[in-house]
Amino acid sequence: MKSKTIGLVILLSIFLISASAFAAQFNFTPRVSGRETYTDNVFLTDKDKEDDYITEASAGGTFSILGQTNGMILDFDPGYRWYAQSTKKDTWFLPATLDLYTNFSRTTRFEIFDRFLRDDDPESDRAVVSEETGQERAPGDTTVSRGRNIYYTNYGTARLDHQFGSDDSVYGQFLYSLRRESNSGPDANDNDRYAPSAGLTYWFGPKWGTTVDAVYTRALFDNDSDYNDIAGFFQLMHRLTRHFQLFGRFGYANRDNDDNDVNDYQVYAPSAGFIYDVAIDSRVTLGGGYYYQDVDGGGNEQGPFVNGEVYKLWNYQRWNAKLLGNSGLDRNDFGSEQLGFEWFAGISGETRYNFTRNFYGNILGRYRYSDFINENRKDNSYTAGAGLGWQTTSWMLLNLEYNFNKYNSTADEDYQENRVWFQVTLSPDKPWRF
């Protein structure tokens, strides 16, 4: 399966860029990094904590082929990690992302996005978020992974977007994801997901519009029941101004497990709220509703929820900042744990201040709350950090960072971790062109 997927991506890459290859611009920006990290809780435990010094070396870069109507961007940074204390844990790691796109016309775009990660550090499995729009390109693992077991994940989408009016659009997408863990015992959550989806946004006139979205998921697990899932929503929108809208939404989901009917369920979730969309880097959506989960065999659940999103970028001469928040109902099944139906809320922010042209400081914070409805479990995770960066030359960057991570749960072992690292990165200030 893996070789077929990689082969398909390569063939599509050649096909999509061949038409304009002679007019395309080929760029490569190499990177070499070395990092030394100290952590006071390397295995993320509540008791019997172990500290460690971790040395990393990586060499990679960004390769791009950019044409007038299509292109490809590949980021990859393979490396090796050495532990001072846990020598048996030494391993290699590889984060890589591929973004391949072609514009068939001014209104039609096809894009393939793929994120691959092989690692043993749970903190590495963070969401990939677009810097320009704040849209999540690939999710991270928001469940809890202990220890330093090797895992790899792959999250790939193929999506076609077509705009047929000033505010009218339709899309179709296919998603495939997988997760594998070196710990293949009963606690591992090895899984595969296949999920086609489609959606339509259509405005009947200047004031009224609708959005319809649906996704089918086929989920396969090594240590749990496979299932089919159908989910979607219907949304009616009323525009008060060019940038401000009111909406009413009805969400629905249906879970059908292969092995038994006891845990099958349906979810009904009406909600209402507003959308304030000023620009590509500034938007707010906020709504409130009530869900009802009808579980076969009893144990129905119900309650209020909040669904929303906020994204804002600030760019000034000496400082910049970004804020990203979201909340809603979801199913959390494809990380290191399979925890099912969830209401979540999260917010993250980061700011950077340039003391001089080559010296800067940054601070960051993240918080996420998860209510796993069928597990009677509530999780809280926190991250706070600060750092300094010094561009010593046009090709050398030094970073000193500190992070504090904390996790607590009503049904799992709590932990907290202090992590400090120093990193040297060598990279040219301009890409090499071919």
Q: Is the pLDDT of residue 10 over 80?
A: no
Residue 3 is predicted with a pLDDT of 47
Q: What are phi and psi of 42, to 5 degrees?
A: -65, -30
C-alpha to C-alpha distance for 385 and 225, rounded to whole angstroms: 39
- Other beta carbons within 10 angstroms of residue 415's beta carbon come to 19
Residue 13 is predicted with a pLDDT of 56
Q: What is the CA radius of gyration of the chain?
A: 23
Q: Is the pLDDT of residue 248 over 90?
A: yes
Q: What are phi and psi of 187, to 5 degrees?
A: -90, -10
Residues 6+ apart with CB under 8 A from 369: 344, 345, 346, 378, 379, 380
SS3 179: strand
C-alpha to C-alpha distance for 95 and 51, rounded to whole angstroms: 25
What does the pLDDT look like over 154-208, one tens digit per residue?
999 999 999 998 899 999 999 999 999 987 677 789 999 999 999 999 999 899 9
What does the pLDDT look like over 37-89, one tens digit per residue?
999 999 999 988 999 999 999 999 999 999 888 999 999 999 999 999 977 78
The candidate with the shortest Cα–Cα distance to 161, out of 124, 201, 128, is 201
C-alpha to C-alpha distance for 174 and 160, rounded to whole angstroms: 9
- Other beta carbons within 10 angstroms of residue 229's beta carbon come to 18
Domains of the chain and CATH, by start: 2-433 (2.40.170)
